[in-house]
Structure 1
Amino acid sequence: MSGRIALSTASVYPESTAHAFGWAASLGYDAIEVMVGIDSLSQQTSAIRQLSEHHQVPVSAVHAPCLLFTQRVWGTDPWGKLERSAAMAESVGADVVVVHPPFRWQKEYAAGFVDGIAALESSTELSFAVENMYPWRASTRRGMEMYLPGWDPSEEDYANTTIDLSHAAIARSDVVEMAGRLGDQLRHVHLTDGSGSARDEHLVPGRGTTGADRFLHHLVASGYAGDIVLEINTRRCATREEREVDLVESLEFARAHFKVPAA
């Protein structure tokens, strides 16, 4: 088992990717997941490699720019984005590329998505871990299906998947049951939390209702061999001290509940 606890660069936004590496090194995180986004540093493979070497923090994963607000990062061709994400991952020593399922309006991309992901994995020897998303809803009423082939990766034949607890909270999915359905397909985890509202909250784990502690205990018991990546929202933190409290609390929660047995 890996047992590494990593920090997503998204967790320190609006601070930069460079700040994320500094936080990870100073607080004792084991690795970094790079969210390729609007921060220009996050798009530069050479800069990521230099930050990793300077802070002595390895890069465990690259999150491809497939969010709504990153639709134009690295161009508009979705397959081109994944190929560039793979090239960055290979260059910086990461073995996972995190990717979201296509939006419904990306019909051509969606039609070949499952087979295309398998082909990329075969040609790169990287794990393209498809992340669980959620129905879009503005209220408590039934949500709209905005993803194709679908928001739940356990319903498709992916070799590798990611569970994000904030997304599961919106979908009102039991994360332990989802992990059970995925079995060995579960390759990557975004540890966070949510209250079950329609917003993608990315709370500090333990502050929501997903049962993040129970989920981590399940991972240990099932022999999960991937990394645990803290992907929280600290945008409302007014000071560095407040952000540090959230980042430390998240790391301590992960270490307390994801205790890998000694070999």
Structure 2
Amino acid sequence: MPSPTTPLVALSTASVYPESTAHAFAWAASLGYDAVEVMVGIDALSQQVDAVQKLAEHHQVPICAVHAPCLLFTQRVWGTDPWGKLERSAEMAQAVGADVVVVHPPFRWQKDYAAGFVEGIASLEARTGIAFAVENMYPWRASSRRGMEMYLPGMDPSDEPYANATIDLSHAAIARADVVEMAQRLGDRLRHVHLTDGTGSAKDEHLVPGRGVMGAAGFLNHLARTGFAGHVVLEINTRRCADRAEREADLVESLEFARAHLGVGTP
């Protein structure tokens, strides 16, 4: 494991989809990732605290974060009450030893949830001791045009007084946001990073870092220079890999990229 003053490089279970949460732990262990972020999703295993804990113990890979089920396709995972989902995410995090829950801001149609979101997140953090790192999002657009803002109170966490935030480079690519400037605005409120890449298209591409236009290497250099000691989680899309060998190559390349540009050695 890295020291407390260096970033932890972890693997999101979403990075191996359509393989399962169990496969993600196996990949993380075999390739030498420091930890795992569990994406609570449609894989039933990811929703079970005991099962996730047993996977971590079996593979001897700690869980650094839990991603709450707040995506469009997980709207019915753990019920439909958004605050209930966050409560259960905190319970899972506490049970498995994770210190971060990643959460997206509310969709525009979730008006009641959005109205008290900033204050509610602060209350959850105070009550649970878990950091709820609110993630940057992006406008929805069908082409290269500006698109519609679909999140409340907004898609950029640096615009709100959250105590903890997540920067996702693929989301920033769609929003055409400068991730170094966003990190500078957040300062020590930046707790969590989804390391990936994008080309600036309307699609949430989640490319292997270095294969897009987001300057992922320079962003990691910035984190290293400023003493970032949070989580750097590889959240890439390997769905189009032809076979396991290609998926392994992408996961290895991503890990090596992160460690090289953070200046973090292999444990």
TM-score band by shorter chain is over 0.9
Q: Which residue of 2 aligns with 1:74?
A: 78
Contact residue 2 and residue 227 of structure 1 kept, 8 A: no
Q: Which residue of 1 aligns with 2:223?
A: 219
Q: Distance in 1 between matches of 2:131 and 2:175?
A: 25
Q: Distance in 2 between matches of 1:20 and 1:112?
A: 35
Corresponding residue to 1:176 among 175, 180, 184: 180
Query: Mind listing any 5+ residue stretches in structure 2 that lack a counterpart?
Result: none
**Equivalent residues in 2 for 1:250-261, closer than 5 Å:** 250-260=254-264
Q: Does 2:189 correspond to 1:185? A: yes
Identity %: 79
Q: Distance in 1 between matches of 2:181 and 2:202?
A: 21
Q: CA deviation at 1:260?
A: 4.7
Q: Distance in 1 between matches of 2:200 and 2:134?
A: 22
**Equivalent residues in 2 for 1:42-81, closer than 5 Å:** 42-81=46-85
Q: CA deviation at 1:3?
A: 2.1
Q: CA deviation at 1:258?
A: 0.7
C-alpha distance after superposition, 1:113-133 (max 9, x if no partner) = 000000000001110000000
**Equivalent residues in 2 for 1:192-231, closer than 5 Å:** 192-231=196-235
C-alpha distance after superposition, 1:158-216 (max 9, x if no partner) = 00000000000000001101101110110000000000000000000000000000000
Q: CA deviation at 1:2?
A: 3.6
TM-score w.r.t. length of structure 1: 0.98
SS at match of 2:191: strand
Q: CA deviation at 1:248?
A: 0.4
Q: Distance in 2 between matches of 1:3 and 1:141?
A: 36
What code does the residue aligned with 1:237 have?
C
Corresponding residue to 1:92 among 91, 96, 107: 96
TM-score w.r.t. length of structure 2: 0.97
Q: Distance in 1 between matches of 2:228 and 2:264?
A: 9
Contact residue 34 and residue 63 of structure 1 kept, 8 A: yes
SS at match of 1:5: strand
What code does the residue aligned with 2:217 have?
D
Over aligned residue pairs, what C-alpha RMSD do you find?
A: 0.8
Q: State the number of aligned residues.
A: 261
List 4+ stretches of structure 1 deviating above 4 A. none
